[in-house]
Homo-oligomer: A and B are copies of this chain.
């Protein structure tokens, strides 16, 4: 079996089409023949996916009719498919009749190398980082034009974050996102730079030229400091995590209260810790040279893998 190197995965085209905002009414898509070019449901698997896509963080429990409506499927069809999904365990039906994502689906999902494989090796370092700062620590990978948060440790008293495990954010607005973008293939960078950079706060970078300069700075320093770009009260310090081929496969960050707020923290103090953790994870992932700055970073004895 080939080793589980989390790789760039050049597979599907970047950027999924945004979910068609729940048409609500219009139960008129009938008669197989008349079925127009629907988004993603002209094949059975497509319909199944359109059902799964209906669930998100704000909709974790849905009734059959809600699913049918949101997926633009006739109720009877949805009924059958949902039944099959539930039979396998991809969905679970609660006592209230509502369907939720099932444990079985979570199980196979957790086999994704880009989540668990990465997560497992990163955890020890994230924990150290967490303990040192007692704030928010995050781990994210890139998928298309977005950063996907794979892991997060959050102190209950730390700054409240808008991100969540399993959530997505545009690359240009977050610390991890900027890092991932800075080291993404040129095509992706240009594509993002050419797109409209949505603004979240007054400090969000929306000027492509500024962003371009920022990315260059990140590449130079190996660290990103992102103050109040998504939430004025919080500041994040992020660094790249490299994999086997020395490619950047992930990014980690620490999020603390912005120094412009009471109790805020000066980012400078965090940089070394974040950098060190990122380097540690990279080493654990098998990245080649641990950067040439640090001398004599003797690789630790490889643990006997299970």
User: Interface on A for B, CB 8 Å cutoff?
Assistant: 1-2, 4-5, 7-12, 16, 40, 43-46, 48-49, 52-53, 55-61, 81, 84-90, 92-96, 98, 100-117, 119-120, 123-124, 127, 130-131, 141, 143, 148, 153-156, 160, 162, 165-166, 168, 303-304, 306
Contacts and interface: CB of A to CB of B under 8 A. Distances in A.
B108 A112 contact: no
B87 A12 contact: yes
A222 to B, nearest CB: 25
A61 B106 contact: no
A45 B112 contact: no
B111 A4 contact: no
A116 B81 CA distance: 24
A105 B109 contact: yes
Contacts of A46: 84, 88
A119 B131 CA distance: 19
A62 B279 CA distance: 30
Contacts of A153: 123, 127
A87 to B, nearest CB: 6
A291 to B, nearest CB: 22
A172 to B, nearest CB: 20
A127 B130 contact: yes
A93 to B, nearest CB: 5
Given A107-B166, A153-B127, A49 B101 contact: no
A40 B88 CA distance: 9
